[in-house]
């Protein structure tokens, strides 16, 4: 187990380097450091000296990937790519273009993101699985047909409809909750309510249908027949036996996203102007703040890899037959 974990972590390093290289080239293939400086300083009244000074201040005055004028190992290390990326492996994200510390910014913005993402995830999971189990319970009846049709219709509706409609009905017509924004502490509940509801609503169709397929696959197996033959009620069969045995495919899909919850949902946060990590990233992309985007991409892929490892570990918990080697 320990050896397995160490191997997985070592395997993560080349992936993270690749991710970094990709973001890096995405930014610098079409842009030069000069363009970035000009953009940050504003298009007008930019003197070459000002650009040089900005580049020097922010550390963009080096060659991109390969420094031919340097000696030995610093041929590679004395470049923008190395200087900016290597530090991220020890969680030093540097500062954004407006001079703020990115790591501190991430810390303060994590809470609002989690406040939205965590309830959406948990409530969603509960509702989808319950709904799917109910459909499985009533399988091959009119109720099941109705449920599946409802799911198909729900998954065909654009997520924008839920957002625009939800904001309109809940905030404008009924004045339940504010349209957008965020506040700390207990006040946050009224701001969080609508995004969570819409987030759950947005994928109820696709998810429930998917869980239903999984449960239906399980229900044809022999142990289910045995359980029924023992005289267990259908509900008990479903919730105790089928649910437990369907855990592997469910965990495969679910555990990967748990670490990513920290990243927040880019779209929901920008629609509801919640000061979380998602809207932070979107703003940074719009302002072409390379430092922030790179940090967020790095964080995102690191969490994704962590999610993959967690998935493997969770298998060993639900299924004792699985051994990690």
* Minimum gap (Å) between residue 164 Cβ and another protein: 6
Q: 316: which residues sit within 8 A by CB, 6+ positions away?
A: 1, 322, 323, 324
14/231 with CB nearer another protein: 14
Environment class of residue 173 by beta-carbon count within 10 Å: exposed (0-12), middle (13-18) or buried (19+)? exposed
Specify which residues 101 forms β-bridges with.
95
* Minimum gap (Å) between residue 160 Cβ and another protein: 6
Environment class of residue 159 by beta-carbon count within 10 Å: exposed (0-12), middle (13-18) or buried (19+)? middle
Question: How many other C-beta atoms lie within 10 A of the C-beta of residue 121?
Answer: 19
* Minimum gap (Å) between residue 76 Cβ and another protein: 20
Phi, then psi, of 101 in degrees rounded to 5: -75, 120
* Minimum gap (Å) between residue 232 Cβ and another protein: 26
Query: Collapsing DSSP states into helix, strand and coil, what is residue 22?
Result: helix
153/317 with CB nearer another protein: 153
Alpha helices in 138-246 (DSSP H): 142-156, 159-166, 188-202, 204-219, 222-229, 234-236, 243-245
Looking at residue 139, the DSSP 8-state letter turns out to be: T
19/80 with CB nearer another protein: 19
* Minimum gap (Å) between residue 183 Cβ and another protein: 23
239/304 with CB nearer another protein: 304
67/160 with CB nearer another protein: 160
56/168 with CB nearer another protein: 168
Query: Collapsing DSSP states into helix, strand and coil, what is residue 36?
Result: helix
* Minimum gap (Å) between residue 54 Cβ and another protein: 18
47/158 with CB nearer another protein: 158
237/295 with CB nearer another protein: 295
Looking at residue 95, the DSSP 8-state letter turns out to be: B
CA neighbor of 243 nearest in space, from 99, 157, 133? 133
Note the residues at the interface with another protein (CB under 8 A).
14-15, 18-19, 22-23, 26-27, 29-31, 35, 152-153, 155-161, 164, 168, 172, 260, 263, 266-267, 270, 281-282, 285-286, 288, 293, 296-297, 300-301, 304-305
Q: How far apart are CA 124 and CA 197, in angstroms?
A: 9
* Minimum gap (Å) between residue 74 Cβ and another protein: 27
* Minimum gap (Å) between residue 157 Cβ and another protein: 6
Alpha helices in 31-167 (DSSP H): 33-41, 48-58, 74-77, 80-86, 102-137, 142-156, 159-166
């Amino acid at each position: 187990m320990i050896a397995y974990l160490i191997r997985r972590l070592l395997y993560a390093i080349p992936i993270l380097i690749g991710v970094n290289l990709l973001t890096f080239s995405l930014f610098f293939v079409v842009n030069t450091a000069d363009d970035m400086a000009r953009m940050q300083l504003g298009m007008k009244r930019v003197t070459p000296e000002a650009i040089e000074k900005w580049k020097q201040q922010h550390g963009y005055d080096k060659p991109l990937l390969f420094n031919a004028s340097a000696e030995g190992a610093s041929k590679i290390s004395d470049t923008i790519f190395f200087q900016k990326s290597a530090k991220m492996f020890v969680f030093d994200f540097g500062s954004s273009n407006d001079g703020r510390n990115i790591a501190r910014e991430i810390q303060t913005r994590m809470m609002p993101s989690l406040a939205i993402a965590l309830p959406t995830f948990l409530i969603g999971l509960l509702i989808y699985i319950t709904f799917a189990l109910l459909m499985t319970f009533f399988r091959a009846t009119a109720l099941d047909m109705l449920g599946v049709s409802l799911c198909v219709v729900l998954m065909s509706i654009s997520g924008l409809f839920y957002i625009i409609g939800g904001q309109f009905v809940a905030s404008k017509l009924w004045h339940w909750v504010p349209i957008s924004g965020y506040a700390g502490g207990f006040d946050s509940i009224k701001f969080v309510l609508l995004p969570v509801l819409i987030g759950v609503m947005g994928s109820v169709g696709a998810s429930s249908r998917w869980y239903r397929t999984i449960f239906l696959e399980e229900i044809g197996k022999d142990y289910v027949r045995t359980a029924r033959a023992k005289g267990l009620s259908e509900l008990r069969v479903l919730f105790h036996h089928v649910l437990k045995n369907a855990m592997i495919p469910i965990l495969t899909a679910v555990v990967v996203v748990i670490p990513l919850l920290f990243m927040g949902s880019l779209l929901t946060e920008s629609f509801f102007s919640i000061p979380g990590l998602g809207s932070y990233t979107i703003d940074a992309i719009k302002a072409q703040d390379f430092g922030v985007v790179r940090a967020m991409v790095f964080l995102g892929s690191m969490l994704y890899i962590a999610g993959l490892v967690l998935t493997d570990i969770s298998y060993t918990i639900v299924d004792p037959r699985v051994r990690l080697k």
